[in-house]
């Protein structure tokens, strides 16, 4: 219907009408489909079809401001990025699908979501105003009167649809909130008790908060009193999400400060600097794309192939199996390229990196570096002693994201191939792996769909939907996003990962993943339960590692020592923790995974 309406507008416009058509769509995938439909339905019409969304490079976004050639109509297919932030002077017609994708947060699952929904009426009025900014215009809304009249007048305030971790941490540090709603409950649009409870649990898991006896239930709201831990006191001084702040602090303690800054900037920049290879330099856009039946690869296709090879080589050079560490390696290599001569631009082209995205990361690195110095974590020899130890850098990521963002990898039974030298283990297949995060304990869908076998053993038995149980713990199945460098990974040495971004669209997708090591989980993965009789250590009531009681006691002692050091640094900001004996022992364990040098 959208394409037919655009064709009607093209066929009925006056010969001297040089105005453009602006179409609002929910997201980039919808824009791609609409572009194909408009090209097919409007074949023979003189049009210039231009997409507009946040995933495009600035030079491609800037095309929407250029005038179309005489006799040609510019059709702009845009997300809500054109709703308020830009003005297209020659726009005379707006076609509004009345849909948008809005970032939201599910406090019960502690999961960010990108939800497609109808826009509010005030957003629709704003979109209507894009037409006729400098001359008369028209607006067509693709929505029924009944549905339009039932839309909310205003959008949901951000405080009611985003995670409250950083906000709560800052309010506790300032002393204006105790966890009883002293400040948050008095806001014009106060967040829900569930959202506050989710923030408390998240900060507790991170080690930034203590609240004895609190489990997030509404009945305890008036009795609880929250207190910042020594780590929480340090995190409150860093203007970044708590997990990003912890990454920076642990990077300084583990001797990989510069890598931690690069990863933190990548986590904060909003959109990965890695461009989608199929849109790199516009190679596969428009009518120039080669078909599968073509005899020879186009020069652009060969360029895309080289990009993938370069990315694969860099991924392997850092030990693989970590999107965030790959990004840190790319940034540090880019930053090391001398200024001038176009060297940085050539490096970006070799990996299909957004040059502006890398510059944005550079700005964030400087800002985060300044914040880190302000809380006493300066750039020293000790803070960079493991700057290229990728095992330690991956452990730093684990320390920041566990135990709240841990993934279990379920691997199939080992298969072997018969050779003249005997049986040889086959390589892993990514399609055979399954990934699970902790689910809601009260979710009925965690029960097996057929009676009989229990999944407690973690192997086969029973037929399950997306949710299930593992040793009595509720789990939800998730999937690695195709844009992740781990999408094709078939082997993980450790069956536990951590992630930074998990977004629910058609499925719950991990946008990134980092493989853990046993000692990274033991040291940073949450509360430990040592089961000496089973030679088992259970981490945060879920992750299970084979280990004897002596290892559990060693790890518990090291954890307490680090807490003591952080407490001392609150009182003595100039104290250097990275050079302490305790941190050197921890780094040694992480480098060798407890197997010695």
Residue 463's pLDDT is 34
Residue 427's pLDDT is 65
We report the CATH number of the domain holding residue 12 as 3.40.50.300
Tell whether 190 and 317 lie within a shared domain.
no
Q: How far is CA 242 from the centre of its chain?
A: 15
Residue 53's pLDDT is 87
Tell whether 145 and 27 lie within a shared domain.
yes
Residue 299, pLDDT above cutoff 70: yes
Residue that is last in its domain, among 464, 492, 515: 515
Q: Confidence class of residue 112 from pLDDT cuts 50, 70 and 90?
A: low
Residue 506's pLDDT is 78
**472 Ramachandran zone, left/alpha/beta (phi>0; psi -120 to 50):** left
Residue 420, pLDDT above cutoff 80: no
Averaged over 159-164, what is the pLDDT? 86
Residue that is last in its domain, among 484, 515, 546: 515
Average pLDDT, the chain: 85
Averaged over 99-127, what is the pLDDT? 80
183-201 burial: b if 16+ Cβ within 10 Å, else e: bbeeeeebbebebbbbbbb
Using CA atoms, how far residue 343 sits from 299, 327, 590, 595, in Å, is 22, 18, 35, 42
Residue that is last in its domain, among 104, 125, 156: 156
Tell whether 204 and 276 lie within a shared domain.
no
Q: 35-39, 120-124, 277-281: which has the minimum mean pLDDT?
A: 277-281
Averaged over 150-171, what is the pLDDT? 89
Tell whether 432 and 450 lie within a shared domain.
yes
- Phi, psi (deg, nearest 5) at residue 332: -65, -35
The residues that bridge with 91 in the sheet, in sequence order, are 20
Residue 272, pLDDT above cutoff 80: yes
Tell whether 20 and 149 lie within a shared domain.
yes
Residue 290's pLDDT is 41
64-83 burial: b if 16+ Cβ within 10 Å, else e: beeebeeeebbbbbbbbebb
Averaged over 139-168, what is the pLDDT? 91
Cβ atoms of 517 and 555 closer than 8 Å: no
Tell whether 134 and 164 lie within a shared domain.
no
Averaged over 288-296, what is the pLDDT? 45
Averaged over 515-533, what is the pLDDT? 93
- What DSSP character marks residue 62? G
List all residues 6 or more positions away from 572 whose beta carbon is below 8 Å from its beta carbon.
none
* Alpha-carbon gap, residue 437 to 540, rounded angstroms: 13
The tens digit of pLDDT for each residue in 236-268 reads 999 999 999 999 999 999 999 999 999 999 998
Averaged over 91-97, what is the pLDDT? 93
Cβ atoms of 130 and 83 closer than 8 Å: yes
Residue 216, pLDDT above cutoff 70: no
User: Is 245 among the domain residues?
Assistant: no
List all residues 6 or more positions away from 125 whose beta carbon is below 8 Å from its beta carbon.
none
More confident residue, 329 or 160: 329
Q: 97-101, 336-340, 417-421: which has the minimum mean pLDDT?
A: 417-421
Q: Confidence class of residue 278 from pLDDT cuts 50, 70 and 90?
A: low
* Alpha-carbon gap, residue 199 to 385, rounded angstroms: 34
Cβ atoms of 462 and 456 closer than 8 Å: no
**Sign of torsion over alpha carbons 369, 370, 376, 382:** positive
Q: Confidence class of residue 214 from pLDDT cuts 50, 70 and 90?
A: low
Averaged over 543-552, what is the pLDDT? 91
Q: Confidence class of residue 449 from pLDDT cuts 50, 70 and 90?
A: very low
Tell whether 125 and 53 lie within a shared domain.
yes
Closest C-alpha to 319, from 516, 500, 454, 482: 516
User: Is 536 among the domain residues?
Assistant: no
Q: Confidence class of residue 291 from pLDDT cuts 50, 70 and 90?
A: very low
Tell whether 52 and 129 lie within a shared domain.
yes
Tell whether 116 and 175 lie within a shared domain.
no
User: Is 188 among the domain residues?
Assistant: yes
Q: What is the domain extent for residue 26?
A: 2-156
Closest C-alpha to 322, from 362, 276, 267, 255: 267
Q: Confidence class of residue 60 from pLDDT cuts 50, 70 and 90?
A: confident
User: Is 163 among the domain residues?
Assistant: yes
User: Is 294 among the domain residues?
Assistant: no
Tell whether 39 and 183 lie within a shared domain.
no
Residue 346, pLDDT above cutoff 80: yes
User: Is 108 among the domain residues?
Assistant: yes
Residue 542's pLDDT is 94
DSSP symbols for 113-158? EEEEEEPPHHHHHHHHTTTTSSS--EEEE-S-HHHHHTS-SSPPPG
Cβ atoms of 530 and 553 closer than 8 Å: yes
Residue 108's pLDDT is 59
Tell whether 263 and 365 lie within a shared domain.
yes
CA-derived radius of gyration, the chain: 27
The tens digit of pLDDT for each residue in 365-394 reads 999 999 999 999 999 999 999 999 999 999
Residue with tokens 């990009």: 307
Residue 560, pLDDT above cutoff 70: yes
User: Is 147 among the domain residues?
Assistant: yes
State the total domains in the chain. Answer: 4
- What DSSP character marks residue 402? T
Residue 107's pLDDT is 66
User: Is 522 among the domain residues?
Assistant: no
The residues that bridge with 425 in the sheet, in sequence order, are 416
Tell whether 438 and 407 lie within a shared domain.
yes
Cβ atoms < 10 Å from Cβ of 443: 14
Cβ atoms of 76 and 41 closer than 8 Å: no
Residue 102's pLDDT is 82
User: What percent of the chain has a predicted confidence (pLDDT) above 70?
Assistant: 86
């Amino acid at each position: 219907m959208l394409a037919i309406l655009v064709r009607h507008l093209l066929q009925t416009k006056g010969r001297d009408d040089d105005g453009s058509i602006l179409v609002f769509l929910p997201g980039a995938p919808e824009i791609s489909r609409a572009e194909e439909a408009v090209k097919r339905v409007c074949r023979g019409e003189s049009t210039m079809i231009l997409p507009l969304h946040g995933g495009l490079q600035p030079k491609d976004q800037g095309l929407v401001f250029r005038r179309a050639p005489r006799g040609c109509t510019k059709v702009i297919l845009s997300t809500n990025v054109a709703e308020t932030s830009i003005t297209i002077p020659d726009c005379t017609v707006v076609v509004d699908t009345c849909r948008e994708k809005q970032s939201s947060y599910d406090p019960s699952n502690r999961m960010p979501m990108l939800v497609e929904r109808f826009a509010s009426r005030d957003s629709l009025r704003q979109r209507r105003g894009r037409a006729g900014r400098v001359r008369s215009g028209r607006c067509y809304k693709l929505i029924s009167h009944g549905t339009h009249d039932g839309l909310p007048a205003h959008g949901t305030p951000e405080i009611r649809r985003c995670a409250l971790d950083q906000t709560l941490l800052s309010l506790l540090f300032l002393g204006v909130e105790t966890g009883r709603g002293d400040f948050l409950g008095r806001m014009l649009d106060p967040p829900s008790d569930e959202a506050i409870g989710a923030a408390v649990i998240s900060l507790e898991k991170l080690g930034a908060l203590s609240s004895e006896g609190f489990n997030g239930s509404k009945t305890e709201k008036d009795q609880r009193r929250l207190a910042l831990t020594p780590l929480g006191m340090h995190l409150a001084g860093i203007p970044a999400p708590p997990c990003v702040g912890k990454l920076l602090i642990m990077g300084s303690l583990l001797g990989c400060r510069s890598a931690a800054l690069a990863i933190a900037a990548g986590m904060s920049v909003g959109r990965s600097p890695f461009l989608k290879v199929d849109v790199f330099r516009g190679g596969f856009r428009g009518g120039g794309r080669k078909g599968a039946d073509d005899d020879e690869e186009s020069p652009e296709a060969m360029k895309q192939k080289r990009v993938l090879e370069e990315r694969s080589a860099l991924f392997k050079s850092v030990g693989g199996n970590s999107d965030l560490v790959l990004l840190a390696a790319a940034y540090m290599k880019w930053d090391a390229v001398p200024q001038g001569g176009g060297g940085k631009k050539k490096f970006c082209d070799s990996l299909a990196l957004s040059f502006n995205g890398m510059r944005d990361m550079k700005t964030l690195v400087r800002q985060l570096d300044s914040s880190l110095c302000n809380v006493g974590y300066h750039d020293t020899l000790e803070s960079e002693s493991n700057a290229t130890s990728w095992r330690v850098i991956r452990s730093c990521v684990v320390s920041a994201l566990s135990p709240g963002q841990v993934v279990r990898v379920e691997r199939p039974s080992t298969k072997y191939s018969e050779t003249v030298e005997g049986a040889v283990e086959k390589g892993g297949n990514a399609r055979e792996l399954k990934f699970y995060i902790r689910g809601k304990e009260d979710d009925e869908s965690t029960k097996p769909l057929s009676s009989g076998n229990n999944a407690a053993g973690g192997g086969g038995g029973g037929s399950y939907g997306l949710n299930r149980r593992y040793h009595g713990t509720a789990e939800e199945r998730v999937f690695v996003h195709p844009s992740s460098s781990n999408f094709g990974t078939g082997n993980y040495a450790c069956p536990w990962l951590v992630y930074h971004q998990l977004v629910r669209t058609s499925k719950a997708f991990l946008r990134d993943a980092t493989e853990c090591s046993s000692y990274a989980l033991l040291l940073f993965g949450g509360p430990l339960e040592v089961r000496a009789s089973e030679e088992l250590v259970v981490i945060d009531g879920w992750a299970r590692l084979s280990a004897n009681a002596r290892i559990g006691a060693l790890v518990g002692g090291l954890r307490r020592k680090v807490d003591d050091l952080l407490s001392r640094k609150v009182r003595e900001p100039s104290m250097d923790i990275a050079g302490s004996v305790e941190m050197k022992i921890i780094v040694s364990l992480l480098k060798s995974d407890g197997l010695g040098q």
